[in-house]
Amino acid sequence: MDERMLTEILAAHADQLAQGKTRQAEYLALFPGSREELAPLLELAERLKDTLASVQPTQAFRQRLHQKLLTIARQRLAAALPRERPRWRQPWVIGAAALGSALSLASAIGVIAYLRRSKATVTG
């Protein structure tokens, strides 16, 4: 029997055990050619089910766990989100500021040159 089929049978058997039903004989009847491989696994699953005790967590534990999981989820989400650069550090803002500065400087030079020419024509 291939591993996938065996996994499916054991999963179905585990579901039945969780519901309190024991159907080992039915599974063995459905797969008579795999009896030697399947029987010990089904028996082991039933023994484990009988041995393990069902545990119910307290409400306080559940609330603490809920809060911890939410905190971890928020931290992971915050770490995964891309960090936005401040607007003043974005390249287009820096370029616009440099262009504005250059235009202001050119205007100031133009005004000074105009005033000197005007003064030279009035005095001369």
Kindly state whether residue 74 falls inside one of the protein's structural domains.
no
Average pLDDT over residues 44-56: 86
C-alpha to C-alpha distance for 41 and 37, rounded to whole angstroms: 7
Domain containing 103 equals: 87-123
- pLDDT of 119 over the 90 cut: no
Q: Quote the number of domains for the chain.
A: 2
**Average per-residue pLDDT in the chain?**
86
Kindly state whether residue 28 falls inside one of the protein's structural domains.
yes
Q: Smallest Cα–Cα separation from 38: which of 75, 82, 8, 73?
A: 8
Kindly state whether residue 63 falls inside one of the protein's structural domains.
no
| Helical ranges in 19-90 per DSSP H | 24-30, 35-51, 59-80
Kindly state whether residue 57 falls inside one of the protein's structural domains.
no
Kindly state whether residue 67 falls inside one of the protein's structural domains.
no
Please report the pLDDT score of residue 26 as a whole number.
87
C-alpha to C-alpha distance for 28 and 10, rounded to whole angstroms: 11
Report in angstroms the alpha-carbon separations of 123 from 33, 55, 111, 117, 119: 119, 104, 18, 10, 6
Kindly state whether residue 60 falls inside one of the protein's structural domains.
no
pTM of the model: 0.43
pLDDT higher for 22 or 110? 110
